[in-house]
Structure 1
Amino acid sequence: MQLGSLRQLTLVSFVLVLVPLLMLLTYSQFTLTKMGHIATGEAEYSVAIVRKLSKMESLSVDVERLFRQFHVLKNIALKNLAQKSIERFVELQTPVCRELDEQQICHNLTERLAWLGQYAGSDDQLLLDAQLAEFKVSLEDLSAQVESKLDARILAQQDYVNTVLQAQIWLTVILVGISLLLIFFGTQVILKPVEKLEMVIQAISRQEDSLPTVSKSGPKELIILEHKLHRLAARLEQLENLRHALLRHASHELKTPLASIKEGCSLLSEQVVGVLNPQQTEVVSLLNSSTDRLNLLIMQLLDYNLLLQQAKPVFEHVACDKLISEFVTDNTLAIQQHSNPLELKIELDTVYADPNLLRRILDNLLSNALAHGSKGRPITIHLYADENWQILDVANRGQKVPEELRPLLFQPFRRGQSKRNDRVVGSGLGLSIVSDCARMMHGKAEIVDVDQADFCVRVTIPLNEENI
């Protein structure tokens, strides 16, 4: 049967789990009722047979007393009373003896009663005493045999209770185990479509080329949600393509007129078209600086667009010595211009990362530190491992950033409030590129507080492939 909705699946799973528990409850109720009936029956049986024995003992006293009186007085009325007592005794003895397995004692008792019933009072005293003594002994033996019978029934009842209790324990273990298995399988059946949705969401977040296929069976609510996620992924891909195309075309279209403007400014500054007065020379200088700034922004946009187009990072073990050496060599001129000494604390021999993304992180963090840090103060680059993470700290002296503004600095085109040392208006893409590079390597970038520095950007990425 195909379950059409998550509600039906949950309800059916709940009912299936309850079935073994209901069976256990029914069996327990039946067993308790049966044991109650047995206990009541045994109690009634024991009370009835004990009462009969008690009456028989009372009648035996009457029989003995009446026969002794009859032996002395020879009164026929006493003989009649004794005979009635014997008849009542026999009426009680018959059902009691019917319950016993050994009938010899009942046979002896019957013989004693028969002899007493035929007693005419002429026999001697010793014979009468002997018959009454045997009658009394036979009655005592009967009582002992009844007690043994009752004890045996009690032991049998205890054995039955123990058997039922053991069966109840095993049945409870089996049925509860079945319920737990049904709970496990029901949970798996319910969670499997949810895990499929999680896989789709992870594929979307990682910008994978293909998503898991849409499920053909399962709760209809989750299948509908899976279709919506696929449509969302297609829409996101369309928007990403539009953004890439916009950045690419805008940057390309801006570079052509910008080159013409820069060429014109060069001709004017070189006074090829005529001599310029001081005011005109200042204006041309402003135009040159503006075109340089615009060209820098276009290059940063192209770099940001190139970063967005990189779908997946390529992880490898990068030698830290080579990476840092090339990084320092390429940035030597910028470091010397700002007079900021570079302090390197490299505690790792290799780092597991995408070399291009890691180098882009280093370049942007150094550029940010040079632009906003205090001149002449050291810039510290600390690379180390902490548990399952590789951590890169780039710290510098300068203006502190308030807690509430720190997350905003990693958003595209968001700039801080501090002035740059180079008097150039930043594009607000540097820290955003750092954050995107870290995210692509399954890590994160954040601003943290450290000792001996006013501003520190910490980049955290997984230590190895197992932690990704």
Structure 2
Amino acid sequence: MLRADTTTLLSTPMKFSSTISQLTLLGFILAMLPLVGAIIHTYWQVDKLAGTMHSMVSDSTEASEAGRMIQSKLISAERSAGQYLVLSEKELFDRYKDQRIQLIQAIQHLRSLNLSEEIGNRLEQLQTSEQVLYDKLQHIEEASPEQVQQLTHNIRLLANIAQPLPLEVSYAITNRRQVLDQNVTDIQRLLLWQVLALVPLAMLLGIVISILLNRPMKRLKNAIHRLGDGELTTPVVVSGPQDIHDLGQRLDWLRQRLAELDEQKLTFLQHVSHELKTPLTGIREGTELLLDGVTGKLRGEQAEVVEIIRDSSLQLQAQVEALLGFNSALLQKSPSRNERLRIDLLLDDVIEQHQLAARSRQIDMLAQIEIAVTRGDREQLRVLSGTILSNAIKFSPLGGTIHIKLRQMRQKVIIDIIDAGPGVHGEDQKQIFEPFFQGRNTPKSHVKGTGLGLAIASRYARLHHGQVLLQQSKKGAHFRIILPAEEINRADKRTRETAKLEKQV
């Protein structure tokens, strides 16, 4: 049946609609998109800045050249125009026209650079004044002396108009350079803001993807821990990427199979324990009858054999009862009873019950018992504390000392039991609460137990919402029992004082 279910499950086709690799790839793409966008935007800004710089350098060179050309041609044109006014020779006028054409070309080229509105107005004024001069020079033969004198004044006016031009060109180029410097600063600031914005964004995306991946992985991890702790009642439900979801389904299938096997094991233990208990009872009763001489007096050797049989049957019966107790503890989901208990008085009784065993090994039990109250099953808590104390006596050397301390603090009842024995071997510490586990430091002279005592004690502690812990200790074993605490009232304090007086009496 189990094998058929396994084959069916493993043959089921898996769906990878949203796997871890796909989610990781999506996260990588989402994280890279802003970076790629920033790189493209940066490249565009740098390319634009490079174009602006190239244009500015080119315009600056052309503007300086055009300014020098205007000054040079204007001087030549003035000279030719002045000579023409004096000599009235046609060759001088033709030379002026050629120089004028070059001057106008230089003016138009400089205007096309659009350096500034002020330069544009000055060039327009210069070109208009030169056009007026040229028109009047074409009719110089008809001009009166006053008009010739006015033309001379117009020639000087051209020089006055053009005189500030080089300085204005230089100032315009400087302004453009400052604008370019400001653009560079703006781009640097923009890139810095991009970095400051993109780094948190990439981190945020990384955190989101990490959460999306870690949350189902954490659920998966918790489910595995629950299975490892033997918690088989809680279904394994893991959402997230498809492959993790599928793994969660397989873990739940494993949980169900383990629960079935656990139930079969418990049924088997219960059945075998009951089947063994009946014939063992018959063997023990039969040996008692033989030792009582019901069938006749036994000789010395016969009596020895019968005593061995009786002791062995008692030992085996104790182990069977331990199996039954362990089986009963596993089947329980909560304590059989839930009464308010004075754990200090209960611990006093447990210590008193083990005094004889401790004295037989010359072991001192030093107890520091304070008032402590909890809720639960009295017998189960008696077995819990008694098991830990019995182990302490079992593992302590002859003449050793066991320290017992009970206190209630921070809503917890804490019982510490520390022996002077060899302690728990390092490799055994993680397994000592497992059923049927036998530690390496078990005394050779002692009768080997079932390995169920600590498992039952741990189970009873968990039933009471507590725990049994193995603490670090320089010498011997240090076990700590932790249980939920109840509020201590005045009656509890009076009872504790009465118990102390009775002990002293």
What TM-score bracket applies, with the shorter chain setting the length?
0.7 to 0.9
Moved more, 328-337 or 135-144: 328-337
- Supply the AA of the counterpart residue of 2:56: E
Cα–Cα, structure 1 residues 186 and 379, in superposed 2: closer, same or farther, change >3 Å?
closer
CA distance in 2, matches of 1:92, 1:442: 100
CA distance in 2, matches of 1:40, 1:362: 90
Moved more, 84-93 or 23-32: 23-32
Quote the residue 2:22 is aligned against: 8
8 Å contact kept, 1:415–1:426:
no
8 Å contact kept, 1:293–1:424:
no
For residues 328-339 of structure 1, the aligned pairs below 5 Å read 328-339=351-362
8 Å contact kept, 1:389–1:460:
no
Matched, 1:368 2:384: no
Quote the residue 2:37 is aligned against: 23
Q: Secondary structure at the match of 1:273?
A: coil
For residues 85-104 of structure 1, the aligned pairs below 5 Å read 85-97=99-111, 99=114, 101-102=117-118, 104=121
Matched, 1:244 2:244: no
1:131-157, CA deviations, whole angstroms, 9 ceiling, x for partnerless residues? 565333311233344345445545555
8 Å contact kept, 1:378–1:396:
yes
Q: Secondary structure at the match of 1:342?
A: strand
8 Å contact kept, 1:409–1:416:
no
- Supply the AA of the counterpart residue of 1:236: L
For residues 399-418 of structure 1, the aligned pairs below 5 Å read 399=422, 403-404=426-427, 410-411=433-434, 412-414=436-438, 416=440
CA distance in 1, matches of 2:123, 2:430: 103
1:111-135, CA deviations, whole angstroms, 9 ceiling, x for partnerless residues? 6545765397998999898656533
Quote the residue 1:207 is aligned against: 231
- Supply the AA of the counterpart residue of 1:362: S
Matched, 1:283 2:299: no
Quote the residue 2:122 is aligned against: 105
Q: Which among 319, 324, 327 is matched to residue 305 of structure 1?
A: 327
Quote the residue 1:397 is aligned against: 420
Matched, 1:253 2:269: no
- Supply the AA of the counterpart residue of 2:477: C
Q: Secondary structure at the match of 2:438?
A: coil
Quote the residue 2:488 is aligned against: none
Quote the residue 2:479 is aligned against: 458
1:254 Cα deviation (Å)? 1.4
Q: Give the unaligned 5+ runs of structure 2.
A: 1-15, 486-505
Give TM-score, length-normalised by structure 2: 0.73
1:149-199, CA deviations, whole angstroms, 9 ceiling, x for partnerless residues? 445545555666666666666666666666555444444443444344345
Cα–Cα, structure 1 residues 319 and 73, in superposed 2: closer, same or farther, change >3 Å?
farther
1:272 Cα deviation (Å)? 1.3
Quote the residue 2:68 is aligned against: 54
Matched, 1:446 2:442: no
- Supply the AA of the counterpart residue of 1:367: S
For residues 32-181 of structure 1, the aligned pairs below 5 Å read 32-63=46-77, 80-97=94-111, 99=114, 101-102=117-118, 104-110=121-127, 113=130, 118=137, 133-154=156-177, 157=180
1:229 Cα deviation (Å)? 0.8
1:325-356, CA deviations, whole angstroms, 9 ceiling, x for partnerless residues? 34334434444544432112357856799876
1:52 Cα deviation (Å)? 0.4
Q: Give the unaligned 5+ runs of structure 1.
A: none
Matched, 1:324 2:347: yes
8 Å contact kept, 1:383–1:390:
yes
Q: Which among 245, 258, 271 is matched to residue 293 of structure 2?
A: 271
Q: Which among 247, 255, 264 is matched to residue 225 of structure 1?
A: 247
1:380 Cα deviation (Å)? 0.9
1:370 Cα deviation (Å)? 1.9
Q: Secondary structure at the match of 2:297?
A: coil
Cα–Cα, structure 1 residues 15 and 354, in superposed 2: closer, same or farther, change >3 Å?
farther
Cα–Cα, structure 1 residues 184 and 79, in superposed 2: closer, same or farther, change >3 Å?
same
Cα–Cα, structure 1 residues 65 and 358, in superposed 2: closer, same or farther, change >3 Å?
farther
1:259 Cα deviation (Å)? 1.2
8 Å contact kept, 2:368–2:406:
yes
- Supply the AA of the counterpart residue of 1:17: A
8 Å contact kept, 1:385–1:463:
no
Quote the residue 2:256 is aligned against: 234
8 Å contact kept, 1:203–1:211:
no
CA distance in 2, matches of 1:417, 1:91: 111
- Supply the AA of the counterpart residue of 1:146: V
CA distance in 2, matches of 1:152, 1:253: 108
Quote the residue 2:496 is aligned against: none
- Supply the AA of the counterpart residue of 2:318: L
CA distance in 1, matches of 2:398, 2:47: 93
8 Å contact kept, 1:267–1:273:
yes
- What RMSD over aligned residues (CA atoms) do the two structures have, in Å? 4.4
Moved more, 46-55 or 77-86: 77-86
Cα–Cα, structure 1 residues 169 and 71, in superposed 2: closer, same or farther, change >3 Å?
same
CA distance in 2, matches of 1:279, 1:131: 158
1:233 Cα deviation (Å)? 0.7
- Supply the AA of the counterpart residue of 1:284: V
Give TM-score, length-normalised by structure 1: 0.78
8 Å contact kept, 2:31–2:206:
yes
Moved more, 357-366 or 172-181: 172-181
Moved more, 387-396 or 232-241: 387-396
8 Å contact kept, 2:236–2:248:
no
Cα–Cα, structure 1 residues 180 and 3, in superposed 2: closer, same or farther, change >3 Å?
farther
Identity rate of aligned residues, in percent?
24
8 Å contact kept, 1:105–1:141:
no
CA distance in 2, matches of 1:203, 1:406: 19
Quote the residue 2:4 is aligned against: none
